[in-house]
Amino acid sequence: MFIRVTDQDGETHELEGLEGWRAMEAIRDWGLNIKAECGGACACATCHVYVGEHWFDQLPPPSDDEEDLLFSTLDKRPTSRLSCQIILNDGLDGLTLTLAESSRKA
Ligand code: FES
């Protein structure tokens, strides 16, 4: 399966992912600019992405912890999610994500 990720500079990358991976792991392991400080523990919000509108409703809803963290970001939008909380599966083949500025490494 593949996901399409647009980075903070507007460049789109097609990344291979595997079922069960976190979207954050695919983004990080393919070398895109994502801070992901807590390594996927839902404790930092530095893996913030915007989900493509077509895909947003197909994801399981965020947990209360994820919602709280998203509210702590300064660049939250209606389609914001934490990419470490998006577990890839074949039904998400073609998922489109855009990296939020708040996810950029310093
Ligand atoms: S990597 Fe820290 S919340 Fe996702």
* Cβ atoms of residues 48 and 82 within 8 Å: yes
Confidence category of residue 106, pLDDT binned at 50, 70, 90: confident
For ligand 1, the distance from its centroid to the CA atom of residue 91, given in whole angstroms, is 23
100 lines ligand 1 (CB under 6 A): no
Cβ(44) to ligand 1 under 6 A? yes
Domain boundaries, the chain: 2-103
Spatial CA neighbour of 96 closest among 13, 8, 10, 39: 13
Structure tokens at 86: 């998006």
Mean pLDDT for the stretch of residues 5-14? 98
> What letter would DSSP give residue 16?
E
User: What pLDDT shows up at residue 40?
Assistant: 97
Global pTM exceeds 0.95: yes
What does the buried/exposed string (b/e) look like for 31-56 if buried means 16 or more CB atoms within 10 Å of the residue's CB?
Answer: ebebbbebebebebbbbbbbbbeebe
At 17-39, the pLDDT tens digits run 999 999 999 999 999 999 999 99
Domain boundaries 2-103, corresponding CATH code: 3.10.20.30
Rounded Cα gap, residues 24 and 14, in angstroms: 14
